[in-house]
Amino acid sequence: MLPLGLSMLWESVEPEAALKERFGFNSFGAVTEWASTVLDETWGITVRACIRMVISDHNAIVWVRSDQGDLVVKWSRARERFARLDASTRLLRTLGGRGIPVASPVATVDGLDRVTLEGPSGALSVTVLPELTGEWLDVEDHAAVWSAGACLAEVHHALGAGDHDMSPMSVRAKGLRERIDDWLADGDRGLAPAASRRLKHLVSGAPELDDEPQLVHNDFRAANILTRDSKVVGVLDFDDVMLEHRVNDLAKACVYLGTRFTEWRPTPTAVRQTLRAGYESVRPLSPAEARWFEILVLWQGIQAIPGENDPAGWASAL
């Protein structure tokens, strides 16, 4: 559980300084006052208490107790992302309607899912969500990991329905083969040369992928998965949804599944296998996807190596 009061999600900086510099609030009390006013005026919600707040880069999340239950207020000051955030918030409502365990936005009194409001130091893109309760995914819980894999496949089914507004979403300009070739030529830091040679060999003999890119979650890992009794009860943070091949999203999830905030460690092989098995219980990979899955897990794993100083053992996990 995140601490009460004000804290940073992953950065090693003083939260009070970040609060002032990034959002213009002098204190957590000032945040409570501002949030109480805007929720009353824009959502018709009476705030009883703000119990915690976390800051992550240009974004903030505040947990609120209110006359409409326990809520989460999320905002961003990154103007270049406002259109994308609007689209991803509308997407939450659609996914909730299709049975995916997400927090569907609480509409404003005008029926909007996200609005731009003036904060102390500039415009903020704000949405209000019901608080989902559960425990962050424990990768040592085999049944929970299997459930997470099955849930990711269901998310892919729902995101692939084809009636979403994809215009603000990030789009890859190149195919996977070309992207990996370019990365091997110009982006590889040489931290795992044997693995890079293996990657180059595997890519050279890989078949063409037989599916089209679609919307995917793009950050499916323990910090964004809530469970209860070894079942997924919440999938969080669709802010980085993008157009990508589903098998790449699965591979990325396998590599980063065990990461939480400041705790970054590689996912054990057995856990990756369980996640994939849960996924394929809902959506089996095609033969071409199965070949690419091994390639993409290797590629994502090499990119995850933090540097020569690798205390968590990302390089050895390859």
Cβ count near 34 (within 10 Å): 19
- Residues 149 and 262 both lie in one domain: yes
Residue 316 has pLDDT above 70, yes or no: yes
Per-residue pLDDT, 174: 85
- Is residue 78, in this structure, part of any structural domain at all? yes
- Residues 225 and 122 both lie in one domain: no
Decide the pairing of beta strands 242-244 and 170-171: parallel
Mean pLDDT over the full length of the chain:
95
What range defines the domain where residue 229 resides?
135-304
Residue 162 has pLDDT above 80, yes or no: no
How far is residue 34's CA from residue 32's CA, in Å, rounded to a whole number?
6
- Assign residue 104 the CATH number of its domain: 3.30.200.20
> What's the rounded mean pLDDT across residues 132-146?
97
Per-residue pLDDT, 144: 98
Per-residue pLDDT, 282: 98
How far is residue 288's CA from residue 245's CA, in Å, rounded to a whole number?
12
Per-residue pLDDT, 205: 96
Per-residue pLDDT, 311: 94
Contacts by 169-176 with C-beta closer than 8 Å and gap 24+?
169/84, 169/87, 169/215, 169/241, 169/242, 169/243, 170/84, 170/242, 170/243, 171/213, 171/242, 171/243, 172/213, 172/242, 172/243, 172/244, 175/209, 176/209, 176/245, 176/248, 176/292, 176/296
Per-residue pLDDT, 173: 67
pLDDT grade, residue 262 (50/70/90)? confident
The domain boundary, picked from 115, 130, 145, lies at 130
Per-residue pLDDT, 161: 87
Residue 46 has pLDDT above 70, yes or no: yes
Measured in residues, the chain has a length of 318
- Is residue 21, in this structure, part of any structural domain at all? yes
- Is residue 314, in this structure, part of any structural domain at all? no
pTM of this structure:
0.95
> What's the rounded mean pLDDT across residues 189-200?
98
Residue 166 has pLDDT above 70, yes or no: no
- Residues 179 and 218 both lie in one domain: yes
Per-residue pLDDT, 172: 74
Residue 168 has pLDDT above 90, yes or no: no
State the total domains in the chain.
2
- Residues 201 and 87 both lie in one domain: no
- Residues 84 and 185 both lie in one domain: no
Question: 269-280 and 142-159 helices cross at what angle (nearest 10)?
Answer: 50
The domain boundary, picked from 130, 158, 181, lies at 130
As a whole-number percent, the residues of the chain with pLDDT over 90 amount to 92
> What's the rounded mean pLDDT across residues 68-91?
97
> What's the rounded mean pLDDT across residues 136-159?
98
How far is residue 56's CA from residue 8's CA, in Å, rounded to a whole number?
6
How far is residue 252's CA from residue 270's CA, in Å, rounded to a whole number?
15
- Residues 19 and 114 both lie in one domain: yes
Average the pLDDT over each of 18-22, 46-50, 168-172, 239-243 and give the range with the smallest value: 168-172
Per residue in 265-299, pLDDT (tens digit) is 999 999 999 999 999 999 999 999 999 999 999 99
pLDDT grade, residue 1 (50/70/90)? confident
Question: 142-159 and 82-97 helices cross at what angle (nearest 10)?
Answer: 110
- Residues 192 and 300 both lie in one domain: yes
